[in-house]
Amino acid sequence: MTPVPRRPRRRLPGHDGAVVSNAAEAIRSAHKWFESNSGWAPPDPDTLYEWVADGVCRCPDECLVAPDGWCRHGLASWWLILRALDEQPALDRRTPVPEPHPSRLDLRRPDRVAILAAHEEAVAAGAAGYADPSSGLYVLTVRSLEARGSCCERGCRHCPYLLAEG
């Protein structure tokens, strides 16, 4: 019996039309996707742990993939995205963390102290972000936004570039 030749793996274009062929490209593709798709929130640590224990993970667009994989749309799994954020070079954590601009965090919010405490704790731990105490949504820290290198213009609560301008 003659073996059936294997078809070469098709490389599919991502959401932006670019072909994604490795994890780094998939992570970049996911960050680009975040810039035009609001309302995303990564899974909480327990959910992520359960997914990985089951050998699966979701992407930001809800596609189901392997934990270290990416979907046919070119978006990395949440496991890859969060791992990449946590592996960013540590910034100097001795410098004070600036207060969010009042347009991003109202001075009169009743949960302001809890938000700032969660942010400070995440920065001290070197985490990329924290769960908002009120909504539970994932919020990036000033350090992880600073490591990005520029403002994404998506209204991030702790944007260091907005502070420099305003």
143 CB burial (10 A radius; 0-12, 13-18, 19+): buried
Per-residue pLDDT tens over the stretch 64-86 = 999 889 999 999 999 888 888 76
Spell out the residues 6+ positions from residue 101 whose beta carbon is closer than 8 angstroms to its own: 159, 162, 163, 166
pTM of this prediction exceeds 0.75: no
pLDDT along the chain (166 residues), means of 10: 47 55 87 78 83 88 91 90 71 63 84 88 88 91 84 87 59
